[in-house]
Amino acid sequence: MDHEMDVENMGNEEDRVGILISSRSSSTTTAGSGSGIREPLLVKNSRLNTTSQHAIVGANVCPIESLDYEIIENDIFKQDWRSRAKSEIVQYVYLKWTFALLIGLGTGLTAFFSNIGVENIAGVKLNLTNDLMLNQKFRQAFAVFAGCNMILAIAAAALCAYIAPAAAGSGIPEVKAYLNGVDAPSILATRTLFVKIFGSILGVAAGFVVGKEGPMVHTGACIGNLLGQGGSTKYGLTWKGFKQFKNDRDRRDLITCGAAAGVAGAFRAPVGGVLFALEEAASWWRSALLWRTFFTTAVVAVVLKCFTEYCKGGNCGLFGEGGLIMFEVNYAKPSYSIPDLLVVIFLGVVGGLLGSLYNYLVDKVLRTYSIINERGPIFKVILVMIISFLTSCCSFGVPWLSKCIPCPPQAGDQCPTVGRSGHYKNFQCPPNHYNDLASLFFTTNDDAIRNLFIAGTDKRFLLSSLLIFFVAIYFLGIITYGIAIPSGLFIPVILAGASYGRVAGSLLSPFTVLDVGLFALLGAASFLGGTMRMTVSLCVILLELTNNLLMLPLVMLVLLISKSVADCFNKGVYDQIVEMKGLPYLEAHAEPYMRQLAAGDVVSSPLFTFSGVEKVGNILHTLKVTRHNGFPVIDEPPFSDEPELCGLVLRYHLLVVLKHKVFTKSQRGSSSILKRLNSHDFGKPGAGKGINLDELDISEEETEMYVDLHHITNRSTYTVLETTSLAKASILFRELGLRHLLVVPKIPGRPPIVGILTRHDLMAEHVSGLYPHITPTRKRSYYQETHSHL
């Protein structure tokens, strides 16, 4: 059975079998006769694929589908390419680069104005609180601080809970799944984009231990998706040039550019953005895409540089250095020896252990929050309010545990800090003293990272203060991720890692000459490697952030070690979330058990097929009784001497033909489809409404007419022999970005097709259901645990 990811649940499996068997027994068909309802082709040992075709998006259970990344090379497509003038091809390429430019401009502007919003809102809040603190009005100061945080948190939560639930969280897991070939409702919608932007500004300004880096990746992807809609009939954007982009393949490329631009906009790391898209986000890559993503991130970097220079003149309110975190850390002693390398190895090992524990705890918290969030939007908002109050209590209350430290003589007028930013927060201390914990807690997250990364400041933070800050941030980051606000993991992990690194630097200072600021950088790298399991992209992002290439070997070493250690315990945090949400993600590697099975061992049945010239009534009946999205087309006499596989026809293409009623009264082949329709008619709709089967108006007389499917059949579809290793078929499926992979018999004389492999047939849940004795026991996703009845 072409068990594609359905748009709706088909109900009880026994009912489905009954429908199929009754249709088969009530009306049989002789080869090529075209009369009656065509029976499904049954393979031996009939197998029904019962894997879920729903996933959690936001906190809601939604139907999911696969994406058609493969080029459908049918007669319509070939006619379109043959008829294209050279000017149209140039126009198509020009538009691709124009869209890449617009994605860069849009993401760069969004990143800049998001940071202006965060810095100004948080700045006003902190200035009001500081003024009250200086006047010894501590209770009023806490009331203002916690009240402002609560208002901002409620606003962010209300946007996510009531308007766009898909905007909650990081968004990187959903972007990864989309670029892997999984489409879910609303994850890249326009309302998701706007809620992501404003929700992220409000959430970060509210003082939560979250970052805007993950949401920026999601924002960039949404901008790419918006530009890749192929025009809009609603707004009159129906130019032929736009219509060329009404396909999943070009839309995927633009979303990849958007994801890369998001990282570039969040960190001012254009090269790191390209490598992030290559290493973590995209499952499919080519050299032309590399050029376009590089161009897009370069545009983002130029936009941010121009606006940042403009703001240096004080034209952007309280923007200051801004939330565009560029640390420019320069260390006095870039040289290192063998003992220093041993210390770095130790940092990597401990960072990997703490990172894997972080992922484990995040997984547990997310599963708990899912139970709460399922109760409705009001419970999402209440949970956000609880976490906001707890965070405010920690940020305001924990600094009271630290004793006041005399200002260092070299600090001059900079100690204590006047205003919201700076490295020496006065808090409740007397003149010429500062509170080191307040310098980390009572500020924005970006400023806290700057304070931790500063070089040559061994005595600026007490060891006890660093330990308290590390423990608090570690657990605040865990319990904050998963609430109904846009929230990124990069900043919480960098904060925890940098504080851990400074602790290690203070303890290991007798054994190394490395600066404590460098320890903070290496600690952040070890945590990032232990949680996210990225290496190349993280290394380049950190080096672009700190503007210090001299530390490249040490950063590489600590990332490799932390990732290797953490991989022994669990997956990366984004991979865990993808699995927990029930998104059917195809891994880059084949599982060991797949070597023991062949493609023919896992194909599902029954399988519906069509003749090359099929009766309209048969097509309508098949589309009504199944939600499959691909159907094999078999040529039979008189079109061939014996039954042979012609190719694959998509459900949406059948709906287009039925809508336009391109029918013939004769069972002989006809070229009327080529004359009446063109490739743009078969363009896949984006956010707009597609063709609905229930809306088709087909008369009884028309059901007895015929459709020549040859012209809309993909005759270049990929096939594998039934004896092909399942591991090889799985890798082929992912690397080529397929939606359907046809399995054909090895021995001639049998029916020309054995079955179709789809994404769900390659899932471990399906294979383990068929062959439990050879597949390992797998941890079930939260969706599978709570919605196994679907």
The whole-number average pLDDT for the span 312-335 is 62
- Tell me whether strands 610-611 and 630-635 are parallel, antiparallel or unpaired: parallel
Q: For the chain, what is the mean pLDDT?
A: 84
Is the pLDDT at 631 greater than 80? The verdict is yes
The CATH label, of 3.30.43.10, 1.10.3720.10, 1.10.3080.10, 3.20.20.150, for the domain at 86-311 is 1.10.3080.10
Q: How many helices (H) and strands (E) does the chain have?
A: 28, 14
Which of 58-72, 309-323, 560-574, 692-706 bottoms out in mean pLDDT, i.e. has the lowest? Answer: 309-323
Residue 457 confidence (pLDDT): 60
Hey, CA dihedral for 81, 83, 86, 90, is it positive or negative?
negative
Is the pLDDT at 541 greater than 50? The verdict is yes
Is the pLDDT at 35 greater than 80? The verdict is no
Is the pLDDT at 15 greater than 80? The verdict is no
The ranges of the chain annotated as CATH 3.10.580.10 are 2-64+588-786
Residue 11 confidence (pLDDT): 37
Beta bridge partners of 644: 635
Model confidence over 95-119: pLDDT tens digits?
Answer: 999 999 999 999 999 999 998 999 8
**Residue whose pair of structure tokens reads 């490697």 in the numeric block:** 529
Phi, psi values for residue 720, rounded to 5°: -135, 155
Percent of the chain clearing pLDDT 90 (strictly above): 50
Residue 104 confidence (pLDDT): 97
Hey, CA dihedral for 143, 145, 148, 150, is it positive or negative?
negative
Pick the closest to residue 569 from 526, 535, 533 (CA basis). 533
Which of 306-320, 328-342, 633-647, 761-775 bottoms out in mean pLDDT, i.e. has the lowest? Answer: 328-342
Is the pLDDT at 16 greater than 50? The verdict is no
Measured distance CA(737)–CA(324) in Å, rounded: 35
The whole-number average pLDDT for the span 503-524 is 86
Measured distance CA(466)–CA(520) in Å, rounded: 11
Tell me the CB-side half-sphere exposure of residue 210, using CA atoms within 13 A: 34
The ranges of the chain annotated as CATH 1.10.3080.10 are 86-311
Residue type, 401: L
The whole-number average pLDDT for the span 748-761 is 90
Is the pLDDT at 496 greater than 90? The verdict is yes
Residue 528 confidence (pLDDT): 95
The whole-number average pLDDT for the span 211-228 is 92
What is the pTM (predicted TM-score) of this model?
0.89
In whole angstroms, how far apart are CA 636 and each of 40, 643, 654, 704? 16, 5, 20, 19
Tell me the CB-side half-sphere exposure of residue 591, using CA atoms within 13 A: 16
420 or 318, greater pLDDT:
318
Tell me if residue 293 falls in helix, strand or coil: helix
Residue 720 confidence (pLDDT): 95
Residue 197 confidence (pLDDT): 96
654-666 in b/e burial notation, b at 16+ Cβ within 10 A?
bbbbbbeebbbee
Is-cis flag, bond preceding 745, omega within 30?
no
Retrieve residue 622's tokens: 């098949």
Tell me if residue 182 falls in helix, strand or coil: strand
Model confidence over 425-459: pLDDT tens digits?
Answer: 777 778 788 888 888 888 888 888 888 888 766 67
Is the pLDDT at 606 greater than 90? The verdict is no
Taking each helix axis from N to C terminus, what angle separates 573-580 and 172-180, rounded to the nearest 10 degrees? 70
As to burial, measured by CB atoms within 10 angstroms (0-12 exposed, 13-18 middle, 19+ buried), residue 19 is middle
Contact between 455 and 332 (Cβ < 8 Å)? yes
The whole-number average pLDDT for the span 486-510 is 91
Which region, left, alpha or beta, applies to residue 622 given φ > 0 means left and ψ of -120 to 50 means alpha? alpha
Contact between 565 and 353 (Cβ < 8 Å)? yes
Pick the closest to residue 112 from 413, 322, 407 (CA basis). 322
Which of 147-161, 177-191, 629-643 bottoms out in mean pLDDT, i.e. has the lowest? Answer: 629-643
Q: What is the DSSP string of 90-104?
A: HHHHHHHHHHHHHHH
With cut-offs at 50, 70 and 90, classify the pLDDT of residue 610.
very high
Measured distance CA(569)–CA(779) in Å, rounded: 13
Pick the closest to residue 306 from 454, 443, 111, 73 (CA basis). 111
Retrieve residue 527's tokens: 């945590």
* Residue 750 burial (CB count, 10 A): 12
Model confidence over 680-710: pLDDT tens digits?
Answer: 888 887 765 678 888 888 998 999 999 999 9
Which residues make Cβ contacts (< 8 Å) with residue 132, sequence separation at least 6?
138, 140, 141, 144
Q: What does the chain come to in residues?
A: 790
The whole-number average pLDDT for the span 729-752 is 92
Retrieve residue 771's tokens: 């062959």
Measured distance CA(437)–CA(452) in Å, rounded: 11
Contact between 441 and 434 (Cβ < 8 Å)? no
Residue 687 confidence (pLDDT): 63
**CATH architecture, domain 2-64+588-786:** Roll (3.10)
Long-range contacts of 464-470 (CB under 8 A, 24+ apart): 464/402, 465/402, 465/436, 465/437, 465/440, 466/499, 466/502, 466/503, 466/506, 467/503, 468/398, 468/401, 468/402, 468/437, 469/398, 469/437, 469/440, 469/441, 469/499, 470/496, 470/499, 470/500, 470/503
Q: What is the DSSP string of 44-68?
A: SS--------EEEETTEEEE-EE--
